[in-house]
Chains A and B, each alone.
Chain A
Amino acid sequence: MLAFAVRRLLVSIPVFILSTFLVFLLVTWGADPLAQLKAKNPPPSQAVIDAMSNTLYINHSLLERYWHWFSQLFFHGNWGPSVQSGTDIGQLLRTSLTLTARLVILAMILAVILAIIAGVISATRQYSKTDYSITLIGFLFLSLPVFWFAILLKQLVVNMNNSLNWYWISTYGANTPGLTGWSAFSDAAGHLVLPTIVLAMSSYASWSRFQRASMLDVLGSDYMRLARAKGLSRRRVMVRHGLRTALIPLTTQVALDTAAILGGAVLTESVFGWQGMGTMLVNAINAGDFNAVLAWLTVAAIIVILFNLIADLLYGVLDPRIRNA
């Protein structure tokens, strides 16, 4: 198992390096860090523009620029200068990431649990009324634009709060500044409720469909019938033999969807006014902040690769054939 883990870890390092290069290409192509400067009125002198390009290291060849960025980041822990005034990218990234990580991890856990429950119930009662309602709800959430649902939910809760005169569930921001101890915790939890629900539901939809399909696949297999025939209880067969096998495809799917969840977080944060990764990305793109966008996408790539790694390891835990291969 350890050898397996180490091997997988070593494989993901070149994937990560290549992925930073791809991201670098994408950002050089898609962001013009001098745009804001050039658009100033009156236009700045050529010397100012030259000085700026010098700071940003953009008057070099592509490979030189990539190497400069890469070595600065990995040998000096330096994300590079930002074109947004008073912004330190490393600092911004840390605060944004802690905020967003809270939301994303909670939402993923909630979505996985809900999806497993819904998928298993749906599959074991295929074509029942329960199955049809769960399927219908799944399809509805699959078709719902995340931000539309978020705005709707937000408005509902605003109305609810006003009529109940109880404001624990917050509709804006990530926390109220200036609180300490228990009240700070309770306040942060209240701010998390709505974004977590929105983000979880956007993934829940496809995962529950997926879990239903893989559970159905397992239920039809011979070893399930054998397990029942040798006298194991239905419950034990379902959990030990059925669910364990049926979780394997879901693990892969969850890891594959990590990128989509980060995208969903951008939208969710933008609706609920969180100063997290979403806001950071939107601001960086609008400012043409080359290094900030690059930092964002690099962190996203690390997260996606990390989740794929975790999924691979879980795969090993769930499926002995892979572990011992």
Chain B
Amino acid sequence: MHDLPSENTQTTGNLTPSAGQIEREFTVKARTQTQLVVRRFLQHKLAVVSVFVLVAIVLLAFVGGALWHYSYTDITPDNSVSPSARHPFGTDNLGYDEFARVMRGTQRSLEIAFTVAILATIVGTVWGAIAGYYRGIADSAMMRFVDLVLTIPIIAAGALLGHHFQSAGWWALALVIAGLSWPAVSRIVRGQTLSLREKEYVEAARALGAKDSRIIFRHILPNVIGQVIVVVTILVALAILTESSLSYLGFGVQAPDTSLGTLIASAQTALQGGQWWLFYFPGIMIILICLSVNFIGDGLRDAFDPSQQRVRA
């Protein structure tokens, strides 16, 4: 798991607006937390551009395939031609249109990535919240388990299980990756929960007789959401990279189906043979998706926690 904000950094500073904004704050109506976050996010230009890029890619992947004049299964009469108006990304030896294949591959990769992100976030969040909320033995046992899972390299375990569930299709691969990546989420949520559970409003809720489940889901989790959303973006990028790595090793998405990793794996020798388009386009697509997702994550992090943004006094 890369680049996760650690539990013990960034506690200094909070939502104080910079000096220039203070005067306006008094004349303009009060903003909610969400409005503040959205405003701060919109100031991060790269992140905003990334949102548009990502939306474009998602549309291309899920709608583009239906509109394009070739399907990814069509064998066109043009073998191994370089990019042209008819085949924007060229074709391979058998005459498959690379543009159609990249769109299809992107769709598969995104489906896996989104499934992983959703599953890992839910499991990791609930796990971390329960561990952090109950502390004691439950916490120790649950977090030691997390430590254990983290000793296993994702690629290795993913390769083993990916090989085993090869015939089950893409969702099995998504389950495997999700099963290996939720521990990182639970660590972050646990850290937050540990400090939030001591807050006065949680105590107030408990004094009013709220049940544990209500306190966790209504009072604690909504306040962890900022961190969790940032983690989701990291998970999406991580899942795309893991999926493509496993497919490259031959343990991921299998032949009649295709993903960005599978496309690169089959284009390995193509680069030596001069068919650069088969290698570059799926790779650039992965980079574009991960870059935009990472930038969005960065923008969200700044928006939820601007403490590192201020210039030092």
Contacts and interface: CB of A to CB of B under 8 A. Distances in A.
Interface of A: 15, 18-19, 22-23, 26-27, 29-32, 126-127, 139-140, 142-148, 151-152, 155, 158, 205-206, 209-210, 213-214, 216-217, 219-221, 249, 252-253, 256-257, 259-260, 262-264, 266-267, 270, 281-282, 285-286, 293, 296-297, 300-301, 304-305
A205 B12 contact: no
B254 to A, nearest CB: 14
Given A257-B2, A293-B160, A217 B9 contact: yes
B245 interface: yes
Given A262-B153, A263-B155, A301-B151, A27 B160 contact: yes
B150 A256 contact: yes
B6 interface: yes
Interface stretch (B95-103, B195-203, B279-287): B279-287
B161 interface: yes
Contact of B148 (A18, A29, A267): A18
Contacts of B133: none
Nearest to A136: B46
B154 interface: yes
A217 B308 contact: yes
* Interface size class, chain B: 35 or more
B164 interface: yes
Contacts of A281: 156, 159
Interface in B266-297: 268, 271-272, 279, 283, 286-287, 289-291, 294-295
A140 B288 CA distance: 9
Contacts of A143: 237, 286-287, 289-291, 294
A147 B237 contact: no
B6 A282 contact: no
B232 to A, nearest CB: 16
B10 A19 contact: no
A213 B9 contact: yes
Contacts of B290: 142-144
B2 A305 contact: no
Given A22-B152, A23-B152, A300-B156, A217 B294 contact: no
Which residue, B12, B155, B286, has most C-beta atoms of chain A within 10 A? Answer: B155
Contacts of A293: 160
Contacts of B164: 29-32
B17 interface: no
Nearest to A304: B151
B105 interface: no
Contacts of A152: 271, 279, 283
A126 B313 CA distance: 13
B152 A259 contact: yes
Contacts of B16: none
A120 B141 CA distance: 37
B293 to A, nearest CB: 8
Given A217-B9, A217-B10, A282 B152 contact: no
Contacts of B144: 15, 18
B89 interface: no
A127 B312 CA distance: 11
B244 A15 contact: no
Contacts of A262: 153, 155-156
Contact of A220 (B12, B148, B272, B298): B12
